[in-house]
Amino acid sequence: MSAPSEVRKRAQTLCTRLNEHNYRYYVLDDPTVSDAEYDRMLRELQRLETEYPELLSPDSPTQRVGALPASGFTTVTHEVPMLSLSNAFADDEVDAFDRRIRERTGLESIEYVAEPKLDGLAVSLRYEDGVLVRGATRGDGTQGEDVTWNVRTIRSVPLRLHGAAHPRLLDVRGEVYISRDGFHVLNEQQAAAGDKLFANPRNAAAGSLRQLDSSLTAKRPLDMLCYSVGRVDAADVPEIQIDTQFELLARLREWGFKVSPDARLVTGVDGCLGYYRELADQRAQLPYDIDGIVYKVNRIELQQVMGQVSRAPRWALAHKFPAEEETTRVRGIEVRVGRTGAVTPVARLEPVFVGGVTVSNATLHNRAEIERLDIRVGDTVIVRRAGDVIPEIVSVIKDRRLRGTRKYRFPKRCPVCGSEVIYEGAGVIARCSGGLTCSAQRKESIKHFARRRAMDIDGLGEKLVEQMVDAGIIDNVADLFSLTLESLVSLERLAEKSAQNLLEALDRSKQTTLPRFLFALGIPQVGETTALALATHFGTLEALMAADTEALESVADVGPIVADSVYTFFRQPHNCDVIGKLRAAGIAWPDLPAGAAARPLDGKTFVLTGTLAGMTRDEAKQKLLALGAKVTGSVSKKTDYVIVGADPGSKANRATALRVTQLDEDEFLQLLRSV
């Protein structure tokens, strides 16, 4: 039965609206409907297409779930080759690049488009009459693999071009990648499922895009930024006149593609190098991995004058950041025991200079990562360092392995206390079962308890904690409140005045708040925000300790993993014993009304940057948390406000690029007064 005309019109209306909302959400970062409203329209369209299959169109928003598994990828020939870029590693190479262009064009200065060089996978998208018909990997530049169904699952890739004025045929080039946040979430999902972890976001993106089962690709957090075009047939569309590279980026955005918000016009070699240094400083704060900067001559007629050599254009250059991957040798493998008992393996390396610093240690993450790499003492390895991220080992160079090396065996017992090592998360996460009997955990839990954002015990530094635990004066956090002047002055290098000051600080810390106390306990998975949510929801410590996992999961932002961690913590007799001793020592706080009404800033996300004159950043954060706000360290499209103080960092620039509302200190204070 064919669809009635009113049903056809409704389906077309839904398709148009959903594609528009996709564009506003994924490209403009400016959604105009709620997620619930979007889902309602999508379900209605799915129902109509199921009832009347002839309504199903290639550009339907319902067609992002993937197709049946393919037996393999077919080969695609790029009509316009996907060229690679010449690389520069030093400032004088950029200067030489600029000089060659000036000499060839006869101009005194050249305007460039500078943009981050994403560490992803190059892809070509072909549109005919405005509809996506093919997606292909770069391959060797001439031939790539057909990954059409996989790119269709990427939300930032339009299935139909936005607007009316677009070419009959359009070949768009860009980079498919996975953001840092997306990568961490993906690996958590892999670990929970007992699957192999990805080494880095680029490998994760490449592996996800080349899945033969595109329904699996649809579950991966792939994204795409577009930066150029190949073949364009626009002779019959006279209103399309693009004279510069920067105009091309703007037009791509109008057509529905996501482009880099950090792309900028710069002039001459000084402008290029200034941008390079600015992005190098901001690199660790960017939401995705980059390995350099790309400079492109802005005027397209000058690009044509410059032409290309071999397989690279003369008018573009990739200026790489200092090497982030280097080769070195593994001297040993050790494990560290953290505050929560997590047993983390660390590789001791022959020192190597990577990404601007000398690296002698690298994380191995967990037992599964050691098994995946098959890393052994004596192996030659490739070490990777991205921004301020802890260095990690990317791979082992097996053909340089020494004879006689042995597979590493993860310890069955804690190297600190000898307790059994137990495994969680499908055997991926290793923990010492010693709890408060393990000195490593005792020391770290006491240090955490004393932190400024926890119990704020002034004068209780790391070295003093270690000294007291080693001397047997304290075994757990409750013992802190039984300390005497006599026991403290018996320690080396602790004068009577300092000891007295510490006792006074301990006494002051007894008056606290329930959220601070919960955070100070060091419950696995419970940070400041979660502690505040738990305290607000249950009101009293007794109600929280009595809650089952179902009740815990009813708290906002608390999922099964966090709920299980909290439930387990309060079911351990030694934890309850310590809490009882702390309460008996006089630690107290005002209880909150259980299930407190929504606070004025519930659901709002804030980011702080720069220096505030009237308060510290931590004080500002505490004020926001008390009003129900969520305070994060990075700006994203989900951020509601960025509080900008004096000398702000890159977060203010990113807020501007994402069009996130920015408040100066006066406006921030006015907001606090108004709620």
Average pLDDT of the segment spanning 401-412: 90
DSSP assignment, residue 181? H
Please check the confidence at residue 289 and state whether its pLDDT lies above 70: yes
Burial classification of residue 39, based on how many CB atoms lie within 10 Å of its CB (0-12 exposed, 13-18 middle, 19 or more buried) = exposed
Domain extent at residue 17: 5-55
Quick one: tokens of 567? 């439930």
Catalytic residue among 117, 258, 621, 651: 117
| Same domain flag for 184 and 204 | yes
CA dist 598 to 544, 625, 668, Å? 19, 13, 20
Give the end of a domain, one of 424, 446, 473.
Answer: 424
DSSP assignment, residue 501? H
Is pTM beyond 0.75? Reply is no
Are 473 and 465 in contact by the 8 Å Cβ rule? The answer is: no
Q: pLDDT (tens digit, 9 = 90+) per residue, 414-427?
A: 888 888 888 866 66
Please check the confidence at residue 597 and state whether its pLDDT lies above 60: no
Q: Three-class SS of residue 246?
A: helix
Are 103 and 114 in contact by the 8 Å Cβ rule? The answer is: no
Average pLDDT of the segment spanning 147-166: 88
What pLDDT does residue 443 have? 85
- The count of other CB atoms within 10 Å of the CB of residue 284 is 12
Residue 305 lies in a domain: yes
| Max mean pLDDT range (94-103, 182-191, 607-616) | 94-103
Strand 131-137 to 143-145 pairing? unpaired
Residue 591 lies in a domain: no
Residue 80 lies in a domain: no
What pLDDT does residue 249 have? 94
What CA–CA distance (Å, rounded) separates 97 from 113?
14
What pLDDT does residue 441 have? 82
In which residue are the tokens 């530049």 written?
141
What CA–CA distance (Å, rounded) separates 675 from 672?
6
Per-residue confidence at 387, pLDDT binned at 50, 70, 90?
A: very low
Average pLDDT of the segment spanning 435-439: 68
| Max mean pLDDT range (13-22, 191-200, 454-463) | 454-463
Per-residue confidence at 353, pLDDT binned at 50, 70, 90?
A: confident
Secondary structure of 618-638 in HEC code, one letter for each residue: HHHHHHHHHCCCEEECCCCCC
| Same domain flag for 612 and 642 | yes
Residue in 366, 407, 399 with CA at minimum distance from that of residue 382: 399
Q: Which helix (H) or strand (E) holds 563?
A: helix 560-569
Per-residue confidence at 89, pLDDT binned at 50, 70, 90?
A: confident
Please check the confidence at residue 266 and state whether its pLDDT lies above 90: yes
Better-predicted residue by pLDDT, 600 or 220: 220
What CA–CA distance (Å, rounded) separates 464 from 495?
12
398 belongs to the catalytic site: no
Please check the confidence at residue 237 and state whether its pLDDT lies above 70: no
Quick one: tokens of 472? 């047997």
Name which of 63-72, 217-226, 542-551 the model is least confident about. Answer: 63-72
Per-residue confidence at 439, pLDDT binned at 50, 70, 90?
A: confident
Please check the confidence at residue 125 and state whether its pLDDT lies above 80: yes
Per-residue confidence at 508, pLDDT binned at 50, 70, 90?
A: very high
What CA–CA distance (Å, rounded) separates 98 from 276?
15
Name which of 228-232, 254-258, 438-442, 667-671 the model is least confident about. Answer: 438-442
Are 325 and 383 in contact by the 8 Å Cβ rule? The answer is: yes
Q: pLDDT (tens digit, 9 = 90+) per residue, 356-373?
A: 568 899 988 888 888 888
What pLDDT does residue 598 have? 53
| Same domain flag for 114 and 261 | yes
Strand 75-77 to 143-145 pairing? antiparallel
Are 285 and 634 in contact by the 8 Å Cβ rule? The answer is: yes
Please check the confidence at residue 57 and state whether its pLDDT lies above 70: yes
In percent, how much of the chain has pLDDT > 90?
Answer: 34
What CA–CA distance (Å, rounded) separates 488 from 473?
8
Are 301 and 243 in contact by the 8 Å Cβ rule? The answer is: yes
What pLDDT does residue 25 have? 66
What pLDDT does residue 106 have? 92
| Same domain flag for 465 and 481 | yes
- The count of other CB atoms within 10 Å of the CB of residue 208 is 23
Residue 430 lies in a domain: no
Are 45 and 62 in contact by the 8 Å Cβ rule? The answer is: yes
DSSP string, 123-163: EEEEEETTEEEEEEE-TTSSEEEB-HHHHTT-TTS-SB-SS
In which residue are the tokens 């980059």 written?
290
| Same domain flag for 563 and 472 | no
Average pLDDT of the segment spanning 138-154: 88
What pLDDT does residue 394 have? 85
What CA–CA distance (Å, rounded) separates 630 from 615?
18
Please check the confidence at residue 569 and state whether its pLDDT lies above 60: yes
What pLDDT does residue 204 have? 86
Cross-strand partners of 508 = none
What pLDDT does residue 65 have? 58
Q: pLDDT (tens digit, 9 = 90+) per residue, 468-506?
A: 988 889 988 999 999 999 999 988 878 899 999 999 999
Per-residue confidence at 203, pLDDT binned at 50, 70, 90?
A: confident
Please check the confidence at residue 116 and state whether its pLDDT lies above 90: yes
* Residues sharing a CB contact under 8 Å with residue 619, sequence separation 6 or more, in sequence order: none
| Same domain flag for 232 and 109 | yes
What pLDDT does residue 200 have? 78
**Dihedral sign for Cα atoms in the order 196, 197, 198, 204:** positive
Residue 182 lies in a domain: yes
Residue 216 lies in a domain: yes
Average pLDDT, the chain: 85
What pLDDT does residue 176 have? 95
Please check the confidence at residue 307 and state whether its pLDDT lies above 70: yes
Average pLDDT of the segment spanning 544-555: 90
What CA–CA distance (Å, rounded) separates 529 from 630?
7
Residue 22 lies in a domain: yes
Give the end of a domain, one of 554, 584, 614.
Answer: 584
Residue 525 lies in a domain: yes
Give the end of a domain, one of 320, 341, 363.
Answer: 320
Residue in 544, 522, 546, 541 with CA at minimum distance from that of residue 583: 541
Average pLDDT of the segment spanning 296-303: 94
Q: Three-class SS of residue 643?
A: strand
Please check the confidence at residue 392 and state whether its pLDDT lies above 80: yes
| Same domain flag for 154 and 35 | no
| Same domain flag for 115 and 152 | yes
Average pLDDT of the segment spanning 248-277: 94
Average pLDDT of the segment spanning 309-321: 86
134: domain CATH number is 3.30.470.30
Per-residue confidence at 388, pLDDT binned at 50, 70, 90?
A: very low
534: domain CATH number is 1.10.150.20
Per-residue confidence at 595, pLDDT binned at 50, 70, 90?
A: low
Average pLDDT of the segment spanning 624-629: 79
DSSP string, 20-71: HHHHHHHTSS---S-HHHHHHHHHHHHHHHHH-GGG--TT-TTTTS--SPPS
Please check the confidence at residue 596 and state whether its pLDDT lies above 60: no
Q: How many domains does the chain have?
A: 6
Strand 121-128 to 630-632 pairing? unpaired
Name which of 368-382, 432-446, 541-555 the model is least confident about. Answer: 432-446
34: domain CATH number is 1.10.287.610
